[in-house]
């Protein structure tokens, strides 16, 4: 993948992840979202800005290989609200039915 394509993919993926964060049903007493993403993928100031603007704390964990993410997800009840897999592994994970459907009516 060329650097331009890789950069564009990262920007789109980060935007999609943040959109998903904004759409999460958050209980009033628990304003926390658990986010599992690639290491060195998102600048810390993005998460800080999100927390500042929404009041929602982000618990941010990282992984460095598709297999690490997939192992955790396939084990069930990972506790993550948002994850960022690659396209190839995403297809496998969708087929394994490990994701919840996004309720589009809750998107702002």
Q: 45-58 pLDDT, tens per residue?
A: 999 999 999 999 99
Q: What angle do CA 47, 23, 43 make, to 5 degrees?
A: 15
pLDDT above 90 covers a percentage of the chain that reads 17
Q: What is the mean pLDDT of residues 80-107?
A: 80
How do beta strands 57-63 and 32-38 pair?
Answer: parallel
* Domain 3-106, CATH homologous superfamily name and number: Periplasmic binding protein-like II (3.40.190.10)
Both structure tokens of 21: 């964060």
Asked whether residue 27 carries a pLDDT value surpassing 60, the answer given is no
On average, the pLDDT of the chain sits at: 77
pTM above 0.85, yes or no: no
């Amino acid at each position: 993948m060329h650097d331009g394509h890789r950069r564009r993919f990262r920007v789109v993926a980060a935007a999609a992840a943040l959109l998903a964060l904004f759409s999460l049903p958050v209980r009033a007493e628990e304003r926390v979202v658990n986010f599992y993403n690639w290491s060195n993928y998102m600048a810390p100031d993005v998460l800080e800005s999100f927390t500042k603007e929404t009041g929602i704390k982000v618990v941010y964990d990282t992984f460095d290989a598709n297999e690490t993410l997939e192992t955790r997800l396939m084990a069930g009840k990972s506790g993550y609200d948002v994850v960022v897999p690659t396209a190839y592994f995403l297809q496998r994970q969708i087929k394994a039915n490990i994701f919840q459907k996004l309720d589009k009516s809750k998107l702002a």
